[in-house]
A and B are shown apart, each in its own frame.
Chain A
């Protein structure tokens, strides 16, 4: 069942309810390794909730997630060791150095070659010269670059990115974009949640639009250009009574 280069990510009927509210409502998809999916949608559409389910931070009320054909509990260590998450929060400790932060996470993921991976991670986001500085002295962009290194430290099969560009300066955004480009190596699947339609379209092989917990669009990105993605988005979101991107 494993596709060349990495395992296929599948979800079937994923749902999550909070009381009477269905934040995620029957989401199903199948993503081949190497695929970058941009998940778009208005505020409150349930995108972050879906990402939290896939990250293992929230138990789904219904549905199943498969990786390489194997149904996995997203709260299990087996799943969590194969998923990397980058959100607008870096999950970093301000009073630890950049190197210590990465080493801490390398140990949590029980990586054998932790020291080498930490150095490679720092190098990949151009932070080697600041490796021994405490993270609280870093700018927002540097923290986000370090968070990206943390996300990829254990070479996850599935990378989940929740608004990774929020608050980044041009240089940090360029570094982040460069690293994301390297993720198109055919070995991993990337899901990018963003409000920026153009950016989401540029990076993606597929685009999905989630409104009120449901995927109302799921199509190859080649079907859209910068103009048509806005038109399509406005059409489905306004049609469903959703908000602005």
Chain B
């Protein structure tokens, strides 16, 4: 088990070190987030629409679109010098490889989610004061569920001629349940509603995340191997 965790940790360290050096994905996702915040700020008339009412949907859609831009590139970055082939020729268990990639992507997307919360809070004067921990937990469950599926389908699309452009087509339909429960919980939390109203949603988001990770870990081997 120590070997398994060591192998998994090596993948996380490698992915995060690469990203810290290049900032390719973080820069793209971060710029996209700020631009979305700016555009929505100018495209919604606060005299007619309360930003608090639509903020939850905007947060989740920005998370997903920005996340696709970053997570979708996970495997194209591995293509240089055949590096991923070298990894696949090593004895690392495929589920450890998958979980390592998911963990690294969760860190990256979580950074972007923090930026989303900050940017949208600034532009739309959102009040996160009532239940900040519950909001953080809701978004974290969403990030894990999203990343688990996006990483799996990123591996699928990396081997196709359509590449990353195919990823949203395959991924988005599977995210519908997550968006429904995530937006529902976030909306209520931003409105300052009691936690009892969102506990069910958060449980379902948590179950979705766990199921997505389990399915991804089980299927990854079949996706990346001949």
Contacts of B91 in A (CB 8 A): 77-78, 80-81, 108-110
Main secondary structure of the interface of B (DSSP, over half): helix
B residues lining the A interface (CB < 8 Å): 3, 6-7, 9-10, 13-14, 17-18, 21-22, 80-83, 85-93, 225-226
A104 and B82 within 8 A (CB):
no
Of the candidates A80, A81, A93, A105, the one whose C-beta lies within 8 Å of that of B18 is A93
A55 and B89 within 8 A (CB):
yes
Of the candidates B10, B18, B21, the one whose C-beta lies within 8 Å of that of A108 is B10
Given known contacts A89-B82, A110-B91, A57 and B22 CB-to-CB distance under 8 angstroms: no
A107 and B9 within 8 A (CB):
yes
Decide if A194 is an interface residue (CB 8 Å cutoff): no
B10 and A91 within 8 A (CB):
no
Of the candidates A59, A89, A100, A108, the one whose C-beta lies within 8 Å of that of B90 is A108
**In the complex the two chains form, what is the Cα distance from A50 to B91 in whole Å?**
19
- Can you identify 22 A-B contacts, CB atoms within 8 angstroms? A56-B89, A57-B88, A58-B226, A59-B226, A77-B92, A78-B91, A85-B86, A87-B82, A89-B85, A89-B86, A90-B86, A91-B81, A92-B86, A93-B14, A93-B81, A104-B14, A108-B7, A108-B10, A109-B91, A110-B7, A110-B91, A150-B86
B22 and A107 within 8 A (CB):
no
Decide if A95 is an interface residue (CB 8 Å cutoff): yes
Contacts of A95 in B (CB 8 A): 17-18, 21-22
**In the complex the two chains form, what is the Cα distance from A103 to B7 in whole Å?**
11
Given known contacts A75-B225, A108-B10, A92 and B83 CB-to-CB distance under 8 angstroms: yes
Residue of B nearest to A112 (CB): B3
A91 and B83 within 8 A (CB):
yes
In the complex, how many angstroms separate the beta carbon of B92 from the nearest chain A beta carbon? 5
Per-position 1/0 for A52-66, Cβ under 8 A of B: 000111110000000
Contacts of B14 in A (CB 8 A): 93, 96, 100, 104
A94 and B81 within 8 A (CB):
yes
Given known contacts A57-B88, A75-B225, A80-B91, A110 and B3 CB-to-CB distance under 8 angstroms: yes
**In the complex the two chains form, what is the Cα distance from A95 to B22 in whole Å?**
7
Contacts of A80 in B (CB 8 A): 89-91
**In the complex the two chains form, what is the Cα distance from A95 to B14 in whole Å?**
10
Question: When A and B form their complex, which 3 residue pairs have the shortest distance between CB atoms, in order from nearest?
Answer: A91-B86, A107-B10, A89-B82
In the complex, how many angstroms separate the beta carbon of A90 from the nearest chain B beta carbon? 5
**In the complex the two chains form, what is the Cα distance from A107 to B91 in whole Å?**
10
Contacts of B82 in A (CB 8 A): 87, 89-91
A85 and B18 within 8 A (CB):
no
124-159 of chain A: CB within 8 A of chain B: 134, 143, 150
Contacts of B86 in A (CB 8 A): 85, 89-92, 105, 150
In the complex, how many angstroms separate the beta carbon of A68 from the nearest chain B beta carbon? 17
Contacts of B92 in A (CB 8 A): 77, 108
Contacts of B85 in A (CB 8 A): 57, 89, 91
Contacts of A78 in B (CB 8 A): 91
Query: Knowing that A91-B81, A92-B83, A107-B6 are A-B contacts, what are 12 other residue pairs whose CB atoms are under 8 Å apart, sorted by A's residue number?
Result: A80-B91, A85-B86, A85-B89, A89-B82, A92-B81, A93-B80, A93-B81, A94-B81, A107-B9, A109-B90, A109-B91, A110-B6
B87 and A108 within 8 A (CB):
yes
B81 and A134 within 8 A (CB):
no
